[in-house]
Amino acid sequence: MKIIARLGLFLLILAHINIYAAERPNVIVIYTDDQGYGDVSALNPEAKFKTPNMDRLANEGIIFTHGHSADTVCRPSRYGLLTGRYAWRSSFSAKKKGYADSGCMITDDRLTLASLFKQSGYNTAMVGKWHLGMDFPGTPENRDWSKPILDMPLDKGFDYYYGIPASMNHGNLAWIEGRFIATPPTLFTNMKKNSRHSDYRIAPPYQKTSAEADQHLEEVGYGLGRKLTPSFHVAPDYIDNQCLSRFTNKAIQWMSSKKNDAKNGKPFFLYLPYPTPHHPVCPLPEFHGQGKAGAYGEFLIETDFRIGQILDFLEKSGLDKNTLIVFSSDNGPENTWPARIKDFDHDSRGTFRNGKRSVYEGGHRVPFLVRWPSGIKNPGRSWHKAVGQVDLLATFAELLKVKLADNAGEDSQSFASVLLDPNTKYDRLPLVMHGNNPMPRFAVTSGKWKLVMPYKKHSFELYDLSKDSAETKNIADQHPERVQFLTKELNKVIAKGRTTPGAIQENDRKWWSELNWMTKKQYELLAQ
């Protein structure tokens, strides 16, 4: 009887562990770079290339047709994604380049997706493009690569890191693993002609000095008619077109090492920010000739292939059903999108207005797909109300049954109910958009309405997105009461330091010039 009782207790404990594990999914956030809404074939029937693995995420999960990046350029979007807080609240300025060696934009005391999962007992990893700043050892003139890199992903909640410090075309290009660079960036390079796209390549041969790299640039003719950009450091073994394959292989290696943990109640969180299709557009030769949108389409076909490798690993490892995948992009397409419409009849924007850097929909309405076979109810559906990448922190916290502190995820509103209940009444609080240089405008979306704020010579613009998602007709003059209401809502979100209910939080900077429609006095009164 004792043996039977003990066996029963053991089975009860085992069942509890299995239920607990099922409630705590593995989580992968796949984040592409400069990919527009129209660059997923499931979202764009007129796309000139196919993305079957992205389409699988859509068809087997939920398509958020009104999903938004946290900003309209790389760095602030990544800050918002990881922290659930808008980057414009920080002391960060879009005018600062900060491509690599600038100190991290995320302070050590701020909760991130990684630290949330780590505190909840997860294994955590990041593989790919960081672009939030690092503290490299030494000075730009005198690096000591034998010393560790500080103020980087391992200080923000990640147990493991492999990647590049910023984009594929920014300084100190080298493969970083943990806190160290195996092959230091001791050579110099500059932009080289790209025979297959209108941009450039970062590929050998590299030069021993900055002057030699600049001279080489002039010799190949790339600098003619353009402003000469300074050369930068590069490792001898770095080649731009290796990023996708390296990052995918490293991600699979890391997940494989945590497979048994994941099956025994210790799941994993993987942040996988691919640096594509950001410049340089450089698909590997085996993808050349695929699709009907030139090298850009080939680059996204390769990106889709790498996502397929991740999905294949999950299936073969028995991890697929209880792995939640979020797929999105950091902003709309780079300003090469008009050329693709002209040359290939492919609209990367997905019919929305403008692209990267713009406060209009094409700048921040991006692919936003969530797949979770064992968790999402009625997969294969779409959700047409607004959600933002800043919402991931609160969503995961709710799924993990973690209550966020007042000073964490101030702009993050959980959409977990959308995953779990197709009939949920979920509505997003006012969602803020922020355009970048050359026009740093603000906008706010609430329900079907979007208000674009004035800036210099530009006045208020109001759009009914339910009828005019392409933002072709400004109806601000017809609805002055709506303009006034949305302005008040935006002012509260900005000045109170948060979107969600809770204690007022100070922004890292007080009133600033971009808030030209609101006086300093108004700001100060609302911030009390």
* Residues 384-404: tens digit of each pLDDT: 999 999 999 999 999 999 999
Provide CB contacts within 8 A for 79, sequence distance 6+. Answer: 70, 71, 85, 87, 90, 92, 105, 106, 132
String of DSSP letters for 281-328: ----GGGTT-SSSHHHHHHHHHHHHHHHHHHHHHHHTT-STTEEEEEE
Token pair of 122, please? 């997860």
What residues contact 92, with CB distance under 8 A and at least 6 apart? 75, 76, 79, 98, 105
Predicted pLDDT of residue 11: 43
At 223 the pLDDT is 56
Nearest to 73 by CA among 27, 1, 139, 131: 131
Count of C-beta atoms within a 10 Å radius of residue 109: 8
Element (H, E) at 461: strand 461-464
390: DSSP letter: G
Non-local CB neighbours of 168 within 8 Å, separated by 6+ positions:
129, 202, 240, 243, 275, 278, 279, 280, 282
- Give the residue ranges of DSSP H helices in 386-495: 392-399, 416-420, 480-495
Would you state the pLDDT for residue 43? Answer: 98
For 248, 433, 450, 518, the CA distances from 491, given in Å and listed in that order, are: 42, 13, 15, 7
State the number of CA atoms in the 13 A half-sphere of 414 facing the CB: 17
At 78, which amino acid appears?
R
| Distance separating alpha carbons of residues 167 and 153, to the nearest angstrom | 15
Per-residue pLDDT tens digits for 196-228: 999 999 999 999 999 898 887 777 766 544 556
Backbone angles phi, psi at 240, to 5 degrees: -55, -40
Domains of the chain: 2-186+235-420 (3.40.720.10), 441-526 (3.30.1120.10)
CA–centroid distance for 85 within its chain: 13
Contact 393, 404 (CB under 8 A): yes
Q: Which of 502, 504, 499, 454 is nearest to 476 (CA)?
A: 454
Is there a contact between 61 and 320 (Cβ–Cβ < 8 Å)? no
Q: What is the pLDDT of residue 228?
A: 60
Cα(62)–Cα(371) distance, rounded to whole angstroms? 6
Q: What are phi and psi of 510, to 5 degrees?
A: -80, -160
With 0-12 CB in 10 A as exposed, 13-18 as middle and 19+ as buried, what is 160? buried
Q: Are strands 123-129 and 160-164 parallel, antiparallel or unpaired?
A: parallel
The strand pairing partners of 176, in sequence order, are 163, 181
List the one residue out of 314, 399, 409 whose CA is nearest residue 25.
Answer: 399
Q: Which helix (H) or strand (E) holds 115?
A: helix 113-119
Residue the block writes with tokens 């009444």: 425
In this prediction the pTM is 0.94
Average pLDDT, the chain: 92
Residue 74 and residue 81 in contact, taking contact as beta carbons nearer than 8 Å: no
Q: Is 368:64 a contact under the CB 8 Å cutoff? A: yes
Q: Position of tokens 């973690």?
A: 402
- Residue 371: which H helix or E strand, with range? strand 368-371
Report whether 165 contacts 102 (CB < 8 A). Answer: no
Helices and strands in the chain: count of H runs, count of E runs: 13, 22
CA atoms within 13 A on the CB side of 218: 7
> Could you write out the DSSP letters of every residue in 25-83?
-EEEEEEEES--GGGSTTT-TT-SS--HHHHHHHHTSEEETTEE-SSSSHHHHHHHHHH
Low-confidence ranges of the chain (pLDDT < 50): 1-22, 94-96, 224-225
